[in-house]
Chains A and B, each alone.
Chain A
Amino acid sequence: EIVMTQSPATLSVSPGERATLSCRASESVGSSLAWYQQKPGQAPRLLIYGASTRATGIPDRFSGSGSGTEFTLIISSLQSEDFAVYYCQQYHRWPPLTFGGGTKVEIK
């Protein structure tokens, strides 16, 4: 199975600042990488698929990049509603689909 590793586990950022989240795959997943946002008590929400394509309705302050084994999610200017946990997920080789352990973005 492909193991997904996210870093850091927690990221403390001030509103208006830029946040950079990383996701690494144990082997190449090409561009078959999605990002999700999850707020407390809510279901995950799709942000990015194909490593860099924003899902419907996702603001352009969210951007994804990378391919192969290294991926990045950037939130260009953090808004109050962006403080949440973010997960990456590979769908290159499955089953199983695999998720990273998550990065919590908290208010500094």
Chain B
Amino acid sequence: QVLLVESGGGVVQPGTSLRLSCAASGFTFGNYGMHWVRQAPGKGLEWVAIISSDGRVTYTADSVKGRFTISRDNSRNTLYLQMSSLKAEDTAVYYCAKRDFQQWLDYWGQGTLVTVSS
């Protein structure tokens, strides 16, 4: 069965960096585009970034552009989100999600909490 497991969250100070990982199994990882979606405490879902199946094409939300970078290692079946210059408003649970035939998200990880606080 499809399994997505995020890791790397924690409590960090404003202005610092953090890298999230998402380990994928149960499907041919290299065949699918992948997304990061976040959810601030008590709030709704916010799309963060997408990467194509081969890693060549990426897009990020304007709210994180220039600070967050999505990448993947298909040999390790792992998705990454490199976050830098973190702000308090980046505090959220970060989910990785697999796209299906089009950009609906058919499988989600359990999420990892990032807290940006001094």
A-side interface residues toward B, CB under 8 Å? 32, 34, 36, 38, 42-46, 49-50, 55, 87, 89, 91, 94-102
Cβ of B104 and Cβ of A91 under 8 Å apart? yes
Number of interface residues of B (CB under 8 A): 23
CA distance A87 to B45 in the complex (A): 8
Count A-B pairs with CB separation below 8 Å: 63
The 9 closest A-B pairs by CB, nearest first: A91-B103, A34-B104, A43-B108, A95-B59, A49-B104, A97-B47, A99-B45, A102-B44, A101-B44
Chain B residues with CB under 8 Å of A102's CB are: 44-45
**Residue in B closest to A4 when the chains form the complex, CB atoms:** B44
CA distance A83 to B111 in the complex (A): 21
Interface residue B95 (Cβ < 8 Å from any Cβ of A): yes
Given A44-B95, A45-B108, check contact A97 B103 (CB 8 Å): yes
CA distance A44 to B60 in the complex (A): 20
**Residue in B closest to A42 when the chains form the complex, CB atoms:** B110
Interface residue B73 (Cβ < 8 Å from any Cβ of A): no
Q: Could you list 21 examples of A-B contacts with CB < 8 Å?
A: A34-B104, A43-B109, A44-B45, A44-B95, A44-B108, A46-B100, A46-B104, A49-B100, A50-B104, A89-B45, A91-B103, A94-B59, A95-B47, A97-B47, A97-B50, A97-B103, A98-B47, A99-B46, A99-B47, A101-B44, A102-B44
Given A96-B61, A99-B47, A101-B44, check contact A46 B106 (CB 8 Å): yes
